[in-house]
Amino acid sequence: MAFLLKYFGGRGSTSMQQPSATIEDLCHRFSLAQLRKSTNHFDRRLITHTDNFYRAYKGCISINGELKDVIVERFRRGGHSVLQLVKNNIIYRCRLHHPNVVSLVGFCDDENEMIVVYDYAPNLSLYDQLNSKSATISWKKRLEISIGVARGLHYLHSGTKRTLIHRDIRPLAILLDENWVPKLRFCWFSLKGPKFSEKDVRPIQAIVRGTTGYIAPESLKHANVTHKSDVYSFGALLLRLICGKELRNLAETGRAEGIIDQSLMGEIAAECWKLYMDIAESCLSFDPDERPDMGEAEVLLERALQLQEEADHNLAFHAS
């Protein structure tokens, strides 16, 4: 976990500096015993996802006398310095408040552990839904999900004093609540970038992180990261939503039309399709400067949804 020293603190870091507030001021502290009980002693059968740095479990815990379903994300063991840096990162994220960004419920740092707790998403992740054989997501719902993700990213890029670059936009990082509202899951190698008001946005040199197919070319080639790197990942996500397949399959065919999700056939209005694909193409531009800001992508997607709703209304009107 040495990479945390580079991204979350240390001399010359562009990421989170030592905050003035304490973690207890902003976030509920759970005991390790509470979290063990909530996850049946970290039962492997309750694991929802895992990577090189943590394992996440579904749990149920009492908060202020009320039982609540949660995700318990347990970091692999690290030293004291790493523990403190992760806590600093948690404090920063406790200050983020947006309907399309996951809210932290609490944390635990007993016995040199570092565990974070956040809301459980009843509809799991977008990845789970797109790969489910039984569930199907309508085209309109996919548009609404893409708009929600765009709003969350727009907030991270421009809604706080400094830009927060997510760096792992992909279906697994998007949780869906009981109303199918998308929530951006926390990414522990996110970067805190320059002030949003700064016009001269210089790339941050950083170790390549992310998921194959969603990483911007400038990050792969030069290890350069800006908020436009997230825009590229978002463009890849737009293709994933319309194709219902991983991007490696898209590369085999060379065009989205050839592998459009069969469950969407006949649902997509022509005007909506054209605008949606134009947005995806612009987000996937090789030149970062040619990609739109997330606020612009959000507005265009809202227009695409409007075009779809108008087409649906006209079709229903003529049918009646």
Cβ 256 vs Cβ 242: under 8 Å: yes
Residue carrying structure tokens 């790493």:
82
Q: For 18, what's the count of Cα atoms within 13 Å in the CB-facing half-sphere? A: 4
104/12 Cα distance (integer angstroms): 28
Q: Pick the closest to residue 107 from 96, 118, 122 (CA basis).
A: 118
Just list the catalytic residues: 168
Cβ 317 vs Cβ 289: under 8 Å: no
Cβ 142 vs Cβ 241: under 8 Å: yes
107/22 Cα distance (integer angstroms): 13
Q: Beta partners for 312?
A: none
For the chain, list the strands marked E by DSSP: 28-29, 47-50, 54-63, 66-75, 104-108, 115-119, 162-165, 174-176, 182-184, 191-195, 204-205, 224-225
Token readout for 303 is 């227009």
Name the amino acid, one letter, at 169: I
188/76 Cα distance (integer angstroms): 13
Q: Beta partners for 191?
A: 165
